[in-house]
Every structure is written in C-alpha cells, then in structure tokens.
Amino acid sequence: MSKTNAERLLKQSNVSFESISYPVDLSDLSAQAVSEKIKFPLSSVFKTLVLEDDQKNYLFAVISGEEEVNLKAVARASAAKKVSLVPMKVLESLTGYVRGGVSPIGAKKAFPVFLSDRAIGQPFIIISAGKRGQQIKLSPDDLLEFTSGILYRNR
C-alpha cells in the first residue's frame, strides 16, 4: 500500500506510528464505522475537523469519535471570537483531503492543531492517514509534538 503524505512525514521525522487499513464504505464514513472495522474502541479513534475562525484563519480540531465538537471551546482555545465548520465544498481545495480522509498532518497548508484533552492518558490515538481507508496509530504526545499542537478541553 502506498504511503500517504502524513505517513511519509512521520517516517522522515522518525515518529513511531503504525498504519492501519480498512475497507471503505462511502455510505458511512463515521468514526463509529471506522472503529468497528479496525476493531479499536471508539474512544481511541479521533476525527479531524477543519474549522474557520471569524478572522478567516483555519485550524484542525482533532476530537475523539465519542465527542461532538464544541465550537465555543475551540474558539476559546484558539483565542477567536467564534469558529465554524468549513463547508464540504472547500474542504479538498483547502487541505488536499476529502471528507473521511482528513489528517492533521500533511495537508496542503499546515494549520494549527487543537487536540481534545480526551487524548490525555491514552497510550495511543488513531487518526486519518490522509485518505479514506487508511489510519495512523500513534501516541497523542507524538501528535502534539509533531504538529506543535495545543491540547484543549472540548466542553
């Protein structure tokens, strides 16, 4: 299987990770479906959302599959007045990724990464490798360090 940008970047930086592949069902791209296919608990499968703040800055919010994004909490953490989800139609042109395959690593442009504090204490989290059907298992600390990410409370 070919390496994604995210996997190549992690490998180049000697960050320890494991690649996990699964069959894609375009009718269900949810974290729950991914969790079931890769046989890891939903609490360890993290989804990456692309948000825009009131100043037209973009950012990634990486949250547990068990959570819904709290826009007020992300705004607080990013020192913005408010944030909103980026419309699907601009997702690919903005990041180079399609829905169901967005990774906080290796996007067209490096946006700030905000990681939910649900990752604290977990030995690993699983994030998208940057394409549907491929995930990366790594330590939350490594993700934060690699992306210069910020831990925040998603509530």
How many CB atoms are closer than 10 A to CB 144? 16
Domains belonging to the chain, first-starting first, are 5-23+30-152 (3.90.960.10)
Cα gap 36→38, rounded to integer Å: 6
Q: Which pair of tokens denotes residue 79?
A: 């020192």
In DSSP terms, which residues pair with 62 in a beta bridge? 48, 115
pLDDT of residue 54: 95
Check residue 62 and give its pLDDT. Answer: 98
What is the predicted pLDDT for the residue at 74? 98
For 2-17, give one letter per residue: b (16+ CB within 10 A) or e.
eebbbbebbeeeebeb
How many angstroms separate the most distant Cα atoms in the chain? 42
User: pTM (2 decimals)?
Assistant: 0.96
Question: How is residue 74 written in tokens?
Answer: 């992300």
Q: Would you say the C-alpha torsion 3, 109, 68, 98 has a positive or negative sign?
A: negative
3-state secondary structure 18-80: EEEECCCCCCCCCHHHHHHHHCCCHHHEEEEEEEEECCCCEEEEEEECCCCCCHHHHHHHCCC
Q: Consecutive sets of 10 residues in the chain, 155 residues long: mean pLDDT of each?
A: 89 97 95 97 97 97 97 97 96 95 96 97 97 97 97 95
